[in-house]
């Protein structure tokens, strides 16, 4: 950029161009949302199939989500290294998603405690010939509620319409899941994860690769 | 009534740097260089002028054993940029 006297119009043009260039800073690679979208979708679908077909499985499919933390750590480190500029909301987004991770852990902890405490009573109630849902049917509502928070915040802040729609779907699913059988709840969760993270992740990835090609 | 334009900001590269930095919390020197399309030497001179005016903060550190220069707009820089934009608006036909 050469130095020359500026007119007012040129000044405004520079300001506009540079603000747009700063906005198009491609730090979001989309791998994180794609990874978690795929993992939660797979886990939820397997869980739904397990319940619906009464399958015997010797392992907990949700361990996959725990294993996904390993590549996530590497992705975060790599993205941080590649990042050449830090946006005003980057720290806030990190806090939001860290709080989300902790919330999911705590909700699962509470759900497990409820299940352990209430299962004997439910079994006894069923043994008497009554019909009642398992506690997990309602546990998925709490998870969907937690899924919605960071997704809506990120979708609104980063102007990701698919993510925003996915987050809203999570909250709508909370109400639906309160009335549906457990396997349907997990299918809702699978759909919510696809809509909230997998599809937006693929869109972000496509944009990232396009921007990378144009900047080479 | 036309307002005076800040001579520090009324320069193509310095204005470009300030416009970039207003949109981010902080940026590496290489990021600014890529986005403005300037040479390292010229950019370094202009950033030093902005630093001397108190409009940007320059942090020099090491990242993975390589020197890294980070630039941040200061509160004074934000005020100066806003004043410059307002002054610029007075020159535009209404």
Counting one residue from A and one from B, how many pairs have CB atoms under 8 Å apart? 83
Indicate whether B7 pLDDT > 60. yes
Mean pLDDT is lowest, of A18-22, A59-63, B67-71, for A18-22
Environment class of residue B68 by beta-carbon count within 10 Å: exposed (0-12), middle (13-18) or buried (19+)?
middle
pLDDT for the residue numbered A27:
61
Which domains does chain B possess? 12-88 (1.10.10.10)
pLDDT for the residue numbered A23:
72
Kindly determine whether residue B35 and residue A22, on different chains, have CB atoms separated by under 8 Å: yes
**Domain assignment of residue A148, yes or no:** yes
For the segment A193-209, what is each residue's pLDDT rounded down to a tens digit? 999 999 999 998 998 88
**Domain assignment of residue A153, yes or no:** yes
pLDDT band at A43 (very low <50, low <70, confident <90, very high): very high
Helices and strands of chain A, counted as H and E runs: 9, 1
Which chain A residue is nearest to residue B38, measuring alpha carbons? A1
**Domain assignment of residue A137, yes or no:** yes
Kindly determine whether residue A18 and residue B35, on different chains, have CB atoms separated by under 8 Å: yes
The larger pLDDT score, comparing residue A160 to residue B44, is at B44
Tell me the average pLDDT across A173-194: 94
Return the structure tokens found at A147: 């899924």
pLDDT for the residue numbered A1:
58
Indicate whether A84 pLDDT > 70. yes
**Domain assignment of residue A90, yes or no:** no
How many domains does the structure of chain A reveal? 1
pTM of the model: 0.80
Q: Which residues form the domain of A147? A: 31-71+98-209
pLDDT band at B1 (very low <50, low <70, confident <90, very high): low
How far is A61 from A92, CA to CA, in rounded Å?
31
How far is A141 from A137, CA to CA, in rounded Å?
8
Instruction: Write the residue in A4, A25, A81 that is nearest to B12 by C-beta.
Output: A4
Residue whose entry in the numeric block shows the structure tokens 């220069």: B69
Indicate whether A214 pLDDT > 70. no
Indicate whether A2 pLDDT > 80. no
Radius of gyration of chain B (CA): 14
| Residues of B whose CB is below 8 A from A86 | 24-27
Tell me the average pLDDT across A79-99: 87
Judge whether B87 is closer than 8 Å to chain A, CB to CB.
Answer: no
Tell me the average pLDDT across A95-109: 93
Tell me the average pLDDT across A156-174: 93
Is B73 strand, coil or helix?
Answer: strand
**Domain assignment of residue A49, yes or no:** yes
Instruction: Write the residue in A8, A81, A215 that is nearest to B92 by C-beta.
Output: A8
Kindly determine whether residue B92 and residue A1, on different chains, have CB atoms separated by under 8 Å: no
From chain A residues 24-43, the ones with a CB under 8 A of any chain B CB are 25
The ipTM is 0.86
Residue from B4, B10, B19, B44 to probe the interface with A (highest A Cβ count within 10 Å): B19
**Domain assignment of residue A80, yes or no:** no
Judge whether B7 is closer than 8 Å to chain A, CB to CB.
Answer: no
How far is B84 from B88, CA to CA, in rounded Å?
6
């Amino acid at each position: 950029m050469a130095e020359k006297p500026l007119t007012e119009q040129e000044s405004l043009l520079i300001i506009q161009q540079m603000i747009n260039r700063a906005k198009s800073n491609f730090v979001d690679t989309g791998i994180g949302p794609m990874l978690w979208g795929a993992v939660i979708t797979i886990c939820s679908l397997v869980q739904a199939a397990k319940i619906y077909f009464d399958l015997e499985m010797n392992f907990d499919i949700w361990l996959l989500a725990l294993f996904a933390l390993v590549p996530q750590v590497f992705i975060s480190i790599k993205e941080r290294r590649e990042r050449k500029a830090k946006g005003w909301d980057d720290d806030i987004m990190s806090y939001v998603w860290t709080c989300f991770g902790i919330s999911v852990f705590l909700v699962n902890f509470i759900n497990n405690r409820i299940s352990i405490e209430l299962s004997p009573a439910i079994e006894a109630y069923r043994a008497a010939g009554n019909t009642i849902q398992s506690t997990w049917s309602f546990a998925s509502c709490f998870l969907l509620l937690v899924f919605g928070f960071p997704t809506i915040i990120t979708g609104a802040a980063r102007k990701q319409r698919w993510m925003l729609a996915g987050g809203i779907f999570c909250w709508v699913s909370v109400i639906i899941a309160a009335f549906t059988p457990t396997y349907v709840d997990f299918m809702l969760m699978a759909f919510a994860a696809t809509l909230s993270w997998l599809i937006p992740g693929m869109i972000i990835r496509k944009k990232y690769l396009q921007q990378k090609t144009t900047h080479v | 009534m036309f307002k005076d334009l800040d001579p520090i900001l009324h320069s193509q590269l310095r204005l470009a740097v300030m416009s970039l930095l207003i949109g981010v919390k902080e940026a590496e020197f290489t990021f600014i260089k890529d986005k403005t399309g300037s040479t390292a030497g010229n950019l370094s001179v202009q950033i030093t002028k902005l630093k001397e005016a108190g409009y940007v903060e320059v942090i020099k550190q090491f990242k993975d054993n390589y020197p890294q220069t980070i630039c941040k707009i200061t509160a004074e820089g934000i005020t100066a940029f806003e004043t410059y934009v307002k002054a610029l608006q007075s020159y535009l036909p209404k």
